[in-house]
Amino acid sequence: MSAAIHWRRDIHRHPEVGFAEFRTASRIAGRFADLGWRVRTGTDAMSAADRLGVPDAESLDAAYERAAADGADERFLPRMRGGLTAVVATVDSGQPGPAIGLRADIDALPIVESVDSGHLPARDGFRSSYDGVMHACGHDGHIGMAVELAERLAERPLTAGSLTIFFQPAEEGGRGARAMVPVGLADRIDLFLAMHVGLGLPTGRYLSSVDGLLANSKLKAVFHGVAAHASIAPHEGRNALLGAATAMLGIHALPRIPGHETRAGVGRISGGTSSNIVPDRAEMLLETRGDLGVVNEHLESRARDVLTGAAAMHGLTVDIETIGGTTTATADPEAVSAIETAAVSAGLQVADGLPVGLASDDATTFMRHVQENGGKATYVGLGATLAGPHHTPAFDFDEAALPLGVDLLESLVRLGQTFA
């Protein structure tokens, strides 16, 4: 079994959500340190203050303790306490050449993984062992490819330039990249790429540039009302759940913008305790997306109007918090052509296009930063035939794609092409 698949399966069995990737991140740091890479963790790899949507202290502590008891690398774990789970690993040939940067996201999703015997991870014994959390997007594969790439480079070192891998926590929700960029480790990257498996592309195919990633805003709204007996004094109550429900309808009814890709939706709503109590608190998670930053900003501002309007309508107050967000980015032709050259020697075929709908990824935050500093960037789609769609309990991808992805990355870093 290739190192990529071996690692993918171990990480798949131990999925951790954003900023709680203690086992995952510490093991990555340990492996890369053992392979002789320069490894940065904790506040050397990320800015604590720039994170969004950090889980509460209690959940973070529980995840930390679980990791400590379940194979985390003790050499690095303590530096990650409190959700500092980014890792930046660099190998430098010491010779002139390009500084290449690769983003590998490491977080899982709050999904209960399928137990169906047709689901390969369940059948072959590497289904999630953590209840309600699952690698349902392929980030476990991204980690596996990075590790195998490092192992290959240990056997046959780079002869030009350097490679830095940004292991990014909390990609889901668009929360991690914004905390890594301010540290400055991506300031002098000549060629930056993010690579994502799956996306509806079959094994053996690839896209040198996944265009049209949507800008998005993730919001949490908390409605505050007044509790009351639902029969004796309903008129004294102010129903927070009613405010949330009203807002939900309004958000889903927001008009779309002609000529643009847009999304607006509520993904979670909760509140209240019992049928005979007017609920005094309701919570909502929602998002907007757009194919341009200004389009998304317009939708977000309309959604905020709906939230405050619905609150006023029912005599409530509402607190709105931004818990994540991504921007758009455009690939550079120089980066695209470097990927295409590398793909030829890796034996990969160009895919016809993206067969699935548009998504978002905060790798765009890295891409823009690199580009603003004069570097080139692209977002690569690596074909891996799917057994179930992204972000669902039956998600799984063809692992045979992983060694191919490593071939692509290895050819790229060995090209030694400069981008100055």
Binding site for Zn ion (CB under 5 A): 137
d(CA 194, CA 365): 11
The minimum distance between CB 196 and Zn ion, in angstroms, equals 6
Instruction: Tally the C-alpha atoms within 13 A of residue 266's C-alpha that lie toward its C-beta.
Output: 22
Nearer to Zn ion, 243 or 405 (CB): 405
Give the nearest residue (CB) to Zn ion.
Answer: 137
Nearer to Zn ion, 239 or 326 (CB): 326
> What is the DSSP track for 278-324?
E--EEEEEEEEEESSHHHHHHHHHHHHHHHHHHHHHTT-EEEEEEEE
The minimum distance between CB 171 and Zn ion, in angstroms, equals 6
Where residue 216 falls (left for φ over 0; alpha for ψ -120 to 50; beta otherwise) is beta
The minimum distance between CB 361 and Zn ion, in angstroms, equals 7
d(CA 404, CA 111): 28
Nearer to Zn ion, 32 or 379 (CB): 379
Nearer to Zn ion, 121 or 279 (CB): 121
**β-bridge pairing 205-207 and 191-197:** unpaired
Nearer to Zn ion, 99 or 137 (CB): 137
Nearer to Zn ion, 28 or 278 (CB): 28
The minimum distance between CB 4 and Zn ion, in angstroms, equals 17
The minimum distance between CB 197 and Zn ion, in angstroms, equals 8
The minimum distance between CB 142 and Zn ion, in angstroms, equals 8
Per-residue b or e along 286-322, where b marks 16 or more CB atoms closer than 10 Å to that residue's CB: bbbbbbbeebbebbbebbbebbeebbeebebebebee
The pair of structure tokens assigned to 220 is 């949490």
Q: Which residues does 334 contact at the CB level (< 8 Å), separation at least 6?
A: 191, 376, 419
The minimum distance between CB 139 and Zn ion, in angstroms, equals 6
Is residue 285 within 8 Å of 267, Cβ to Cβ?
yes
d(CA 202, CA 62): 38
d(CA 100, CA 195): 13
The amino acid at residue 291 is D
Nearer to Zn ion, 97 or 141 (CB): 141
d(CA 101, CA 84): 20
Nearer to Zn ion, 210 or 299 (CB): 210
Nearer to Zn ion, 97 or 174 (CB): 174
The minimum distance between CB 332 and Zn ion, in angstroms, equals 22
The minimum distance between CB 359 and Zn ion, in angstroms, equals 8
Q: What backbone phi and psi angles, to 5 degrees, belong to 34? A: -65, -30
